[in-house]
Amino acid sequence: MTIGKNFSINWPHQLKIGDNVRIGIGMSLVIDGIWSDIGFISIENQVEIKDYVKLIKKSDSKCVIGQTSFIGDNVNISIASDLIIERDCLIASGVRISDTNHLYGKDIENRKCATINAFINIKAGTWIGLNACILSGVIISENSVIAAGSVVNKDIPEWEIWGGIPAKYLKRIQ
């Protein structure tokens, strides 16, 4: 295992790291909330996480980064529910992943708006392009590709390329 300078985590008992993991400089793991033995972060074997990645999770949520996956520079992950990134995924620099959505309406005060949290699953072999945004409740199926700068707000079938804001079907991978 290799960990770069300025790595920080506030609740190390929730972190499990596999073999041959490489973590770049300035990675921050922030676990927010009350003390909990329910939640965890699992970084499986041969994962590479580049520089200045930030992962914020609620104390009782679960986050799994599957074996041989790659996470690029300046990725920001914020989870209050659960996130599973399966094996062999490539997540490019600047990607944002958030499982929280806010309710908004005339009867809801802006500063007191309610939130809805929903599980995100990024399945095996998926590629997510530069600066894409993955929103709550999404399942990205096996071997799919998300184009750079896309906003994914719905489930993506396997072996397809999606892109745009919001992401739309572009073509089937042959």
Q: Tell me: the pLDDT tens digits for 122-149? A: 999 999 999 999 999 999 999 999 999 9
**Phi-psi category of 137—alpha, beta or left, where left has phi over 0 and alpha has psi -120 to 50?**
left
> What average pLDDT score do residues 48-54 get?
95
Residue 35: the pLDDT is 56
Whether 140 is in a domain gets the answer yes
Residue 167: the pLDDT is 98
Whether 150 is in a domain gets the answer yes
**21 pLDDT above the threshold of 90:** yes
Range of the structural domain that residue 30 is part of: 2-103+114-172
pTM over cut 0.75: yes
**What's the structural domain count of the chain?**
1
Whether 149 is in a domain gets the answer yes
Whether 59 is in a domain gets the answer yes
Identify the CA nearest to 41 among candidates 9, 73, 68: 9
Whether 8 is in a domain gets the answer yes
**Dihedral angle of Cα 146, 166, 51, 37, to the nearest 10 degrees:** -100
What amino acid positions are annotated as catalytic residues? 102
The CATH number that applies at residue 49 is 2.160.10.10
